[in-house]
């Protein structure tokens, strides 16, 4: 079954809306209460640092393979086809963008700011037999992203106004919960396996030559040991990024749940800020951790 029936494009502009109160008592500006637009900007930069590496790990493993003498390779071993991994990374990027755009839209709508949104969801999902669980998680994420995108388009064409932001949050809660968990599963389970494979390739590439080094090759051995240590440190940083990515998805899900709950209670901005404050801070930390690790040499 096709994940996307066709390429979905929605370009819309909402301007001059009345103050949106999200079904709360008094006007709750979610951009003030949660800084949703700023958080969205941070997520837009940080999250691809992890998801893009789904393709990059394949390229790194192929580099190791190509630099291993043919006599040292298993006879049946071949370089990997990285195209399916790149397609998957692109697919994840689109789904992440929809999730981020949704939270950004909540902030802009609640603060009566013009909301510009231009999104395209590609219908092509990798059909390679990488892993059935991998594909299932990606497909679930794509379906959820499409549902959220459709909801945003409907909100735009319907001219959502006072008290309707809360309806938007409630209507999309199930899709947001599912999308965040599907993205988390692809990264924390399937991408983690790819990194484990890369680590095995890395160890095999370095350890054999290091063990067979001759005494008169000690200077060359020192250089190889340093490069090995550098590559292992970089790999560990990517593993740590998996943890931060998973935490980011959990925090986004928890934040949306709390917004839905506070909308139902008709809470004011002070109470909303109090309830979501710890989640927002946790999310900021997770995104910052991803960004800081990506800046390491």
Instruction: Compute the distance between CA of residue 211 and CA of residue 235 in angstroms, rounded to an integer.
Output: 22
Given a cut of 70, whether residue 19 has pLDDT beyond it is no
281 within domain boundaries? yes
**pLDDT at site 128:** 34
Instruction: Compute the distance between CA of residue 107 and CA of residue 112 in angstroms, rounded to an integer.
Output: 9
* CB-based contact 188:238 (threshold 8 Å): no
Tell me how long the chain is. 297
Given a cut of 60, whether residue 16 has pLDDT beyond it is no
Q: What is the pLDDT of residues 156-186, one digit of tens each?
A: 666 655 457 778 889 999 999 999 999 999 9
**Greater model confidence, 211 or 11:** 211
Highest mean pLDDT among 22-36, 61-75, 141-155, 228-242: 228-242
237 within domain boundaries? yes
CA nearest to 280, candidates 242, 254, 243: 254
Given a cut of 60, whether residue 119 has pLDDT beyond it is no
Given a cut of 60, whether residue 292 has pLDDT beyond it is yes
CA nearest to 122, candidates 153, 104, 158, 146: 146
Q: Residue 255: which domain range?
A: 33-294
Given a cut of 50, whether residue 118 has pLDDT beyond it is no
* CB-based contact 59:82 (threshold 8 Å): yes
CA angle 157–162–168, rounded 5-degree value = 60
Given a cut of 50, whether residue 18 has pLDDT beyond it is no
Confidence of residue 24 (pLDDT cuts 50, 70, 90): very low
Given a cut of 90, whether residue 21 has pLDDT beyond it is no
41 within domain boundaries? yes
**Greater model confidence, 100 or 35:** 100
Q: Give the least confident one: 109-113, 207-211, 217-221, 275-279.
A: 109-113
Terminal Cα distance for the chain, rounded: 43
**Greater model confidence, 113 or 173:** 173
**Greater model confidence, 259 or 5:** 259
**pLDDT at site 135:** 66
Given a cut of 60, whether residue 126 has pLDDT beyond it is no
24 within domain boundaries? no
Give the total number of structural domains in the chain: 1
Which tokens sit at 95? 């789904």
Identify the H or E element spanning 13: strand 8-14
* CB-based contact 253:180 (threshold 8 Å): yes
15 within domain boundaries? no
Residue 185 φ/ψ, nearest 5 degrees: -65, -40
């Amino acid at each position: 079954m096709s994940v996307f029936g066709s390429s979905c494009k929605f370009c819309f502009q909402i301007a001059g809306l009345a103050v949106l109160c999200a079904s709360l008592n008094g006007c709750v500006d979610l951009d003030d209460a949660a800084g949703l637009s700023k958080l969205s900007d941070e997520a837009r930069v940080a999250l691809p640092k992890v998801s893009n590496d789904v393709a990059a790990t394949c390229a790194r493993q192929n580099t190791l393979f190509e630099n291993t003498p043919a006599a040292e390779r298993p006879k049946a071993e071949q370089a990997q086809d990285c195209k399916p991994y790149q397609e998957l990374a692109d697919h994840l990027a689109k789904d992440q963008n929809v999730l981020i755009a949704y939270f950004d839209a909540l902030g802009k709508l609640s603060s009566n700011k013009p909301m510009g949104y231009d999104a395209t969801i590609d219908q092509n999902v990798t059909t390679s037999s990488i892993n059935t669980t991998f594909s299932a998680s990606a497909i679930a994420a794509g379906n959820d992203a499409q549902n959220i995108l459709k909801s945003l388009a409907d909100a735009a064409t319907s001219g959502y106004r006072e008290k309707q932001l809360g309806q938007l949050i409630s209507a999309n809660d199930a899709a947001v919960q599912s999308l965040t968990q599907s993205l988390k599963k692809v990264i924390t389970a399937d991408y983690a396996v790819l990194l484990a494979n890369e680590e095995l390739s890395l160890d095999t590439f370095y350890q054999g030559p290091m063990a067979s080094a001759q005494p008169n090759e000690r200077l060359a051995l020192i250089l190889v040991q340093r490069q090995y240590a550098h590559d292992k440190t970089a790999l560990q940083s990517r593993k740590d990024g998996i943890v931060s990515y998973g935490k980011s998805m959990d925090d986004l899900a928890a934040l949306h749940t709390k917004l839905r709950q506070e909308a139902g209670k008709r809470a004011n901005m002070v109470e909303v800020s109090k309830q979501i404050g710890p989640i927002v801070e946790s999310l900021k930390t997770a995104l910052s951790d991803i960004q800081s690790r990506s800046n390491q040499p």
